[in-house]
Structure 1
Amino acid sequence: MKLVVIAAGPFAVPMLRALHASSHEIAHVVCRPHRGRRSDPPLPVAACAEELGLPLWRPETINASDALECLAGLGADLLVVCDYGEILKPGVLEAARLGGVNLHGSLLPRYRGAAPVQHAVWNGDAEAGVAVITMTRGLDSGPIHGVARLAVDPDETAGELEARIAQLGAPLMVEMVDRLEAGTATPVAQDKSLATKAPRLSKEDGQIDWSRTALRVKNQVRAMQPWPRTYATWRAAGGDPVRLNIDRVSLVAEASGAPGEVLEAGDRLVVACGQGGVSLESVQAPGKRRLTAAEFLRGASLRAGDRFEVPSDPLETRQ
């Protein structure tokens, strides 16, 4: 099968390597252009394609008319899309004989959108996975060719889980492409009634809402790693507000206090939530390195009874 792989981010790299090692021909890899500084590292898929010696094409936008002409001229049997970062118009999918398939990081129809793994972690899901779907006009709504599942560790971050899901999805994609070539693919329509959304995260999503349960706060911290990271604002008596990045917390079930109240500030830093509390394990002040809570408290004026701000715009209305 003659393939054109359309991908950019790290989630797609294991899949690209697996397809390269398979019996299929990768005629071209399409990646987004490099938009950062010259010293910035290349996009992961571009770096992988160059390492493997694959032809690499980086159009400004793949939906432009001249790009569509070039894409059609490649004579691909199938487009394989993953972690590209640009919504493809119908004309792109018409450029290959069999259209396109997409590797999506969720158990569709749950979590359609740009941040499926992050939302699965934020919601505390015990199971996650990956799906290969036919690409259609709707966002992540095409028929499902196959899925693979795994258990979610209750302490792993979204970044850690996404790396595992990417590895899980690589052989799944090869298997589904094999079936398409053999004419044995049996895609199944998604149940629209079960569909949920997973919109792209923003920096504001990282603000901790202490009015939520301790478990919800812990899951938010996990979900926002490695980006955008969670943060909370504390104001010392008579001082300016200080925004702290908080990258790891543990549950303190017996904690009780007003949401955002500092309950302990000695050997550990415990903050009350709407139900229960959390112990802050990793804290970073602006311009400083990451510290354990004990290290941070040795140089900070934070005391029991101080308060972290509770956002006036609750996260649950923004999610």
Structure 2
Amino acid sequence: MKVIALGTGPFAVPTLRRLHDDPQHEVLLVVTRPPRGRRAAIAPMALAAQELELPLWQPDTVNEDEAHQRLKSLDAQLMVVCDYGEILKPAALECTSLGGVNLHGSLLPKYRGAAPVQWAVFNGDQETGNTVIQMTPGLDAGPILGVQRTPIDPHETAGELEERLAEMGATLVEEVIAQLATDSTSPVEQDSSKKSKAPRLAKEHGLIDWSQSAQQIHNQVRALQPWPRAYTHWEADGDDPQRLIVHRTRFPEADSGDSATPSSADSSEPGTITSAEDSLIVATGEGVLELLEVQPAGKRAMPAGDFLRGNRLKPGDSLS
């Protein structure tokens, strides 16, 4: 099938590679969002297109007449959209004979929006997956053409889960395209009463509230990896509070084989350090949580043990 691939972020790259490698498909053009700002990095999808020696186009928008003319001139059958960053209007979707399909990293209608994987981890979901939909002008609202399901490991970060879903999703896209080629799809309308939103995360989402439970904070740390990352503050020798990024956590029971279950409630105030010798353990609103890897302001990420050896923290000190 002759396709136009629209994508910008890393979630779209495995699908592009799969379409390129499949002799049944021809990728006529790769469309990505243009870099923003002088220091903007090249988009992962753009890098992949260059590596695969595919035609690359980075328009400001695909929702203008000039863009429509270029897309129509390719005489493509289908747009394959994933992690692109712009909602396509009806006129754009009409530029190919079969319209567009979109790969989305959630079990729609749950988590419509830019950060479905992160919110699934943040909320402590035990299962997620991918959905391919027939595109409509609404945000992730089109009829469902295919679904994949997968459990979420209790220690899996959003970055790790997203990589796994991206690889899975490439297979799902191929299956849906094969059905479209034989006119054998069975679209299922989404139940809008069950929809939920997944807006893009901001740095403010990273501030740890130690009055939350150990489980909630553990989920928060996982969800904000690799960006924007969870953080707290600590006071060093009477200085002003300093930012401390928290990269990895676990429940102290991990050594006894129960790494997925928080400890029982601790009597200390939330945020109080209960152990600062070989491990850094902090009381929360419900249970305690061990910080495994941290990053002080202006320094590299390091195991908590290394951080403790270079800083005078003791039980009874607090993280704010």
Instruction: Provide TM-score, normalisation by structure 1.
Output: 0.92
| 1:303 lines up with 2:314 in the alignment | yes
Q: What does residue 179 of structure 1 align with? A: 179
Count of residue pairs the alignment pairs up? 308
The 2-side partners of 1:162 and 1:171 are apart by 15
**Which segments of structure 1 move beyond 6 Å, counting only runs of 4 or more?**
none
Structure 1 unpaired stretches of 5+: 310-319
Instruction: Supply the AA of the counterpart residue of 1:308.
Output: L
Percent identity (aligned): 55
Q: What does residue 266 of structure 1 align with? A: 277
Indicate the SS of the match to 1:91. helix
The 1-side partners of 2:304 and 2:164 are apart by 29
Indicate the SS of the match to 2:12. helix
The 2-side partners of 1:307 and 1:63 are apart by 52
- Kept after mapping to 1: 8 A contact 2:87/2:137: no
The 2-side partners of 1:65 and 1:301 are apart by 63
In the TM superposition, residue 113 of structure 1 has moved relative to its aligned partner by: 0.6
Q: What does residue 53 of structure 1 align with? A: 53
In the TM superposition, residue 68 of structure 1 has moved relative to its aligned partner by: 2.2
The 2-side partners of 1:281 and 1:52 are apart by 39
The 2-side partners of 1:306 and 1:67 are apart by 59
The 2-side partners of 1:237 and 1:76 are apart by 65
In the TM superposition, residue 79 of structure 1 has moved relative to its aligned partner by: 0.9
| 1:214 lines up with 2:214 in the alignment | yes
In the TM superposition, residue 65 of structure 1 has moved relative to its aligned partner by: 3.0
Q: What does residue 74 of structure 2 align with? A: 74
- Kept after mapping to 2: 8 A contact 1:148/1:172: yes
Q: What does residue 103 of structure 1 align with? A: 103
The 1-side partners of 2:272 and 2:91 are apart by 55
Q: What does residue 315 of structure 1 align with? A: none
Q: What does residue 26 of structure 1 align with? A: 27
Instruction: Supply the AA of the counterpart residue of 1:231.
Output: Y
Instruction: Supply the AA of the counterpart residue of 1:276.
Output: G
The 1-side partners of 2:190 and 2:97 are apart by 23
The 2-side partners of 1:193 and 1:33 are apart by 35
In the TM superposition, residue 174 of structure 1 has moved relative to its aligned partner by: 0.9
Residues 104-113 or 288-297, more deviating? 288-297
In the TM superposition, residue 41 of structure 1 has moved relative to its aligned partner by: 5.0
Indicate the SS of the match to 2:291. strand
Q: What does residue 198 of structure 2 align with? A: 198
The 1-side partners of 2:247 and 2:83 are apart by 25
Q: What does residue 36 of structure 2 align with? A: 35
- Kept after mapping to 1: 8 A contact 2:35/2:43: yes
- Kept after mapping to 2: 8 A contact 1:236/1:306: no
Indicate the SS of the match to 2:242. strand
Instruction: Please give the residue correspondences for 1:44-193 in structure 2 after superposition, counting only pairs within 5 Å.
Output: 44-193=44-193
The 2-side partners of 1:274 and 1:90 are apart by 49
In the TM superposition, residue 37 of structure 1 has moved relative to its aligned partner by: 4.7
- Kept after mapping to 2: 8 A contact 1:110/1:194: yes
The 1-side partners of 2:236 and 2:297 are apart by 15
The 2-side partners of 1:255 and 1:195 are apart by 34
Indicate the SS of the match to 1:48. helix
The 1-side partners of 2:84 and 2:2 are apart by 20
Q: Residue by residue, what CA displacement relative to the aligned partner does 1:225-259 show, whole Å, maximum 9, x if unpaired?
A: 00001100123463201100000011141451211
Q: Residue by residue, what CA displacement relative to the aligned partner does 1:269-314 show, whole Å, maximum 9, x if unpaired?
A: 11111100101101111111112111111111222212222xxxxx
- Kept after mapping to 2: 8 A contact 1:31/1:58: yes
In the TM superposition, residue 12 of structure 1 has moved relative to its aligned partner by: 0.7
Instruction: Provide TM-score, normalisation by structure 2.
Output: 0.92
Structure 2 unpaired stretches of 5+: 253-262
In the TM superposition, residue 18 of structure 1 has moved relative to its aligned partner by: 1.1
Q: What does residue 314 of structure 1 align with? A: none
Q: Residue by residue, what CA displacement relative to the aligned partner does 1:182-207 show, whole Å, maximum 9, x if unpaired?
A: 11111100111221111110011111
Residues 295-304 or 273-282, more deviating? 295-304
The 2-side partners of 1:198 and 1:98 are apart by 28
Indicate the SS of the match to 1:164. helix
The 1-side partners of 2:238 and 2:51 are apart by 56
- Kept after mapping to 1: 8 A contact 2:81/2:103: yes
- Kept after mapping to 2: 8 A contact 1:14/1:170: yes
- Kept after mapping to 1: 8 A contact 2:236/2:311: no
Instruction: Please give the residue correspondences for 1:6-17 in structure 2 after superposition, counting only pairs within 5 Å.
Output: 6-17=6-17
